[in-house]
Amino acid sequence: MTTTKITLRKLTATSAAATIALCLATGAGGAYAYWSTIGAGTGSATNGTMKAVTVDALISGDGTHNSLVPGGTADVAVRATNPNNFAVQVYAIRGNGAATADANHPGCLTTGVTYTDPSAPLAPATTIPPNSSVLITLPGAARMSLASSSGCQGASFSLPVTLEARK
C-alpha cells in the first residue's frame, strides 16, 4: 500500500507539472495574440446645434399664489421655452440684474426687491419636453427689503434671470 501511494503521488506531481506547463504555454500564446493584434478603421459623427432655451414674460394664468411684502419673501415664476426637437434639463436659474416695477407704478423708485439664486444644480432638475414650455416656480426666491418705496404697493416686478439648460 505504501508503494501505491508513492506511485500515485508521482503520477499526480507529473500530471500537475504537465498541466501547469500547458496552461502557461496556452496563456502566453493567447496573450501574445491579444497584444499583437493590429486593427484600423475610420469613423465619423456630426454635431447638431442646440437652440437657446428662452425665459419669457409671464402669460395669462402664470404667477405665484403669494404676494411680496416689505420684509418678506415670495415665490418667483419663470416660464421657460424649449424650441429644440429634443428634451432639455434646466440646471440653474441665476439673477442677471436689478428688479424693476411695472409701468403702472412710476412711484416705485426704490424697489428693494432682490432675487436669490436657487442652489445649482436645481434639485430636482426640470425637464422641458421638445418644442414646449414649462412654468418653473422657485419658492422664496424673491425678497423685499423694508426700504422699499410705498409707491411699490400692488406692483409686479420683473427680475432678469439667466437660465442654464443642457441636453
Same domain, yes or no: 74 and 131: yes
Read off the CATH number of the domain in which 117 is found: 2.60.40
Same domain, yes or no: 70 and 151: yes
* Domain housing 98: 54-166
Same domain, yes or no: 70 and 122: yes
pLDDT of residue 53: 86
The answer to the question of residue 48 being in a domain is no
Same domain, yes or no: 32 and 61: no
What does DSSP assign to residue 152? Answer: G
| Prediction pTM value | 0.64
Same domain, yes or no: 72 and 138: yes
Same domain, yes or no: 35 and 61: no
Displacement of CA 65 from its chain's centroid (Å)? 28
pLDDT per residue, tens digit, the chain (167 aa), is 444 444 444 445 555 555 555 555 555 555 555 555 555 556 655 566 888 888 865 655 566 667 889 999 988 888 999 999 999 999 888 899 999 999 999 999 999 999 998 876 676 678 999 999 998 888 888 999 999 999 999 888 888 999 888 88
Count of CB atoms situated within 10 Å of the CB of 59: 10
The answer to the question of residue 78 being in a domain is yes
Residues 6+ apart with CB under 8 A from 151: 105, 106, 107, 108, 109
Split into its structural domains, the chain has a count of 2
The answer to the question of residue 46 being in a domain is no
Same domain, yes or no: 91 and 135: yes
The answer to the question of residue 47 being in a domain is no
Q: Which residues pair with 165 in a beta bridge?
A: 90
Count of CB atoms situated within 10 Å of the CB of 116: 13
Q: What are the grid coordinates assigned to 65, written together?
A: 399664489
Same domain, yes or no: 30 and 72: no
- The closest alpha carbon to 161, from 84, 86, 76, 102, belongs to 76
Q: Are 165 and 48 in contact (CB under 8 A)?
A: no
